[in-house]
Structure 1
């Protein structure tokens, strides 16, 4: 298939720039995998689409304030986007600068793009592909981010980050630091909705996938099969595996909240299945790319936002729900003026051919 097959026309005013006041006030498009039919709902109605015994799988990664601004000793301004936290206190990061910094370059951190330097500094200690390895010279990277870090809003949000984003570009169940983009399907849940789901007998469990900046990279190959996915770290632990086993035994469905949860579960399943529809525990990097023709071994239904044209994420949805069905659903969403992308509305999708 061609990348251009996944194009659709999206009016700019449908790209959500700010979150709604209420997390659960978003709209929700239901795409029925058995019939291909589409219907339109409020996200708060999600409880009506889930049955006692179903299992929700959330991604509990926490978005770090990963964008830092700085100044080189020569005076040149730089912008840093931390991609990955390393165990030794160093980080891997993208750096924007007029000239690429060399090994040993000292970067003084500034509160914003125009401010004077602070007491914090980072030193370039090496490269890893397109990423720079940075180590704190003064203080710690975690402390720098707490004081001077900015939330790494996606490139299609055309404004500076603010204090509200520290709360709203974060799920209410975020726990493990490491993402530079939010698992956006989870943004629609608040504690009251989670309580309602639990009272209905719907179980929940967590995976961790630290979303990287590569999630926004375009597909540059004409043939989607030639695309090389970026690498992201994930963990599917024993508690998650046991929850899936129990779900299978009681006849429930595994419902992934977001494409990151889908990719986590299907990565683990591709590595090892311990039973039909149940992966073994997995921890490590993944470059899994799910596109039409791929098999889904674990996930029965998914909740997801509306994604960019020609992106790997719309390709994943098309693989799950059917190519024609997905493009038709997106066309319906545009016609009804759903809000798109990270702060936008949601879809509830059942796997093609499944209830």
Structure 2
């Protein structure tokens, strides 16, 4: 399967640079299994869910992982925190291979090694300094600097467990009123955690889809949730996944594509599960997702649940109707 099979024309003007004023004001393209399409609003979502269905959500919380500091000569350098290796030591991304001290404030600095490792020095708590001086890690296709408003808008209403450097963007559309309406119908709403890492920014550089390797990401799932999922499936109800990260976490577990340990009724693990056409879904029946980049891994996951041709046709129609794309854009429901 060629990566080029997942290409389509995306005008730059359709990439949403900022969110809508109301989370649930986005449009919703509903894609049925026969390839038919409905054009709705996100507030119409509850009408597609039934009593006894389960809505499964990623409750990860994005932290402001972009830090800009100054070298001794006064030059600026931005770093992106990727992964904590040990106390006060982080794996980072940055331009070049700078080695030396980077100062963020009078009481907050880091020794940088080859542009890849940061060893922090600070007054107080490291997390407090990161939240004070860091900026939200908006994806590179949002061509503007992050501002303080992104600390709220680039975060879902479910955000609870800190650890992501990108938002689970399908959940950004949900408002309290939409959730209340869904809950009032008797839909079961449950959460798991998958912390989104650097793999979300990593382009596919292989010619063949099968040759690409995902970065490992950390997840947590309650054992009780696994039993509830099995019960929901056994009664003929649907598991509706909110986003590709939720999908990879739960499908990764049920397909044994993860390393896990169980502590006090909770599973902790990592998964590098790459879902693309040919995957047989064991758990997820429907998917709520955003509109993704051409040739991207989230696009391939969405294709796996509906079929590449149907999805690409839906994307072409979304372009024609000027849907807003990517993180701050509109939503799609694949039934």
Shorter-chain TM range is over 0.9
Match of 2:145 in 1: 160
Which residue in 2 is equivalent to 1:277? none
Task: Find the residue that maps to 2:207 and give its secondary structure.
Answer: coil
2:98 aligned with 1:101, yes or no?
A: yes
- Alignment of 1:314 with 2:299, yes or no, is yes
2:154 corresponds to: 169
- Are 1:38 and 2:37 an aligned pair? yes
TM normalised by structure 2 equals 0.92
Aligned to 1:70: 69
Aligned to 1:46, the other structure's residue is in SS state helix
CA distance in structure 1 between the aligned counterparts of 2:61 and 2:86, rounded to whole angstroms: 17
What's 1:179 paired with? 164
Task: Name the structure 2 match of 1:119.
Answer: 107
What's the CA shift string for 1:59-83, capped at 9, x where partnerless?
Answer: 0000101100112345443211111
8 Å Cα contact 1:304/1:348 also seen in 2: yes
Answering whether residue 80 of structure 2 is matched by residue 81 of structure 1, we say: yes
Q: What pairs up with 1:137-148 in 2 under 5 angstroms?
A: 137-148=122-133
The equivalent residue for 1:60 is 59
Shift of 1:243: 2.3
Per-residue deviation, 1:232: 1.3
Q: 1:294 aligns with which of 268, 274, 279?
A: 279
Matching residue of 1:2: 2
Shift of 1:133: 4.7
Shift of residue 89, structure 1, vs aligned partner: 4.4
Match of 1:326 among 306, 311, 316: 311
CA distance in structure 2 between the aligned counterparts of 1:294 and 1:131, rounded to whole angstroms:
35
Over residues 78-112 of structure 1, what are the superposed CA-to-partner deviations in whole Å (9 max), with x where a residue is unaligned?
21111124563433221234xx134xx33211xxx
CA drift of 1:272 comes to 8.0
Which whole-Å CA distance do the structure 1 matches of 2:116 and 2:54 have between them? Answer: 37
Q: How far apart, CA to CA, are the structure 2 residues paired with 1:47 and 1:28?
A: 12
User: Secondary structure, in 3 states, of the residue corresponding to 2:312?
Assistant: helix
- 1:131, CA displacement in angstroms? 4.3
How do 1:238-317 residues align onto structure 2 when only pairs under 5 Å count? Answer: 238-271=223-256, 282-317=267-302
Q: Is 1:12 paired with 2:7?
A: no
The answer for the alignment partner of 2:262 in structure 1 is none
Contact 2:27 2:40 in 1 (8 A): yes
Determine the C-alpha separation between the residues in 1 that align with 2:308 and 2:247.
17
Determine whether 1:26 maps to 2:11. Answer: no
Deviates more, 1:142-151 or 1:70-79: 70-79
Match of 1:114 in 2: none
Alpha-carbon distance in 2 for matches of 1:170, 1:226 = 32
Identify which of 209, 221, 235 aligns with 1:236.
Answer: 221
Q: 1:272 to 1:182 in 2, by over 3 A?
A: closer
Give secondary structure in 1 for the equivalent of 2:79: strand
The 1:339/1:147 distance shift into structure 2, 3 A limit, reads same
TM-score between the two structures when normalised by the length of structure 1: 0.87
Report 1:128-139 matches (<5 A).
131-139=116-124
- What is the aligned partner in structure 2 of residue 112 from structure 1? none
Choose 201-210 or 76-85, whichever is displaced more: 76-85
8 A contact 1:241–1:281 mirrored in 2: no
Q: Deviations over 1:175-202 (max 9, x none)?
A: 0111111000000001111111111100
**Gaps (5+ residues) in structure 1?**
110-116, 274-279, 351-355
The runs of 5 or more residues in structure 2 that have no matched partner are 259-264
Please say if residues 121 and 138 of structure 1, whose CA atoms lie closer than 8 Å, have aligned partners that are also in contact.
no
Number of residues of Structure 1 aligned to a counterpart in Structure 2: 329
Task: Decide which moves more: 80-89 or 327-336.
Answer: 80-89
What does residue 50 of structure 1 align with? 49
Deviation at 1:285, TM superposition (A): 1.8
